Amino acid sequence: MIKELQRLIEQMSRELPGILAAAVVTVDDGMSIAEVSRKEDIETAAASAYLASIVKSNGKAINLLADDEVVDDILITTSQYHFIIRHIEDEPFFLFVMTSKDEWLGKARMLIKKYEVKFTRFSGFLKKNYQ
């Protein structure tokens, strides 16, 4: 199963040249289950642990501010990069994509939505083994 997740994350990253890193990450502990990086100095696994805390705290904040809302994604921008975090409600994982700031943000978000359907096929396996 892990090999299939790895193949899928690599396939997704090849569809958009501006993707610098991508990962499938467990929400509970921030463990990177499958990842890809196109830059030597990106520590995707370490960043994944911190991103899990963002996903959890974002969910708590949204519940306090707008209880009936569901978060589509979390977007973090810097002077050089876009960080997109997509967590489907009730799933034990989230998708993380890092792109260059030059990459079209809308296209990256569409790609993540396209692939999240494919990743949810592994939901049972992930819930059983990583929750």
pLDDT at 71: 82
CATH number assigned to the domain comprising residue 46: 3.30.450.30
Our count of domains for the chain comes to: 1
pLDDT class for 1, splitting at 50, 70, 90? Answer: confident
Tens digit of each residue's pLDDT (9 = 90 or more) over 47-98 = 999 999 999 888 888 888 887 778 889 999 999 999 999 998 888 899 999 9
Token pair listed for 45: 């696994």
Helical axes 2-14 vs 105-119, angle rounded to 10° = 160
Q: Let me know: does 94 contact 85? Beta carbons within 8 Å.
A: yes
pLDDT at 131: 66
pLDDT at 84: 96
pTM: 0.89
Q: Which single residue is written with the structure tokens 């921008």? A: 77
What is the gyration radius of the CA atoms in the chain, in angstroms? 14
Token pair listed for 34: 């499958």
Q: Which domain holds residue 6?
A: 2-130
Tens digit of each residue's pLDDT (9 = 90 or more) over 17-39 = 899 999 999 998 899 999 999 98
In angstroms, the CA 17 to CA 23 distance is 16
**What three-state secondary structure class fits 73?**
coil
Is the pLDDT confidence value at 45 over 90?
no
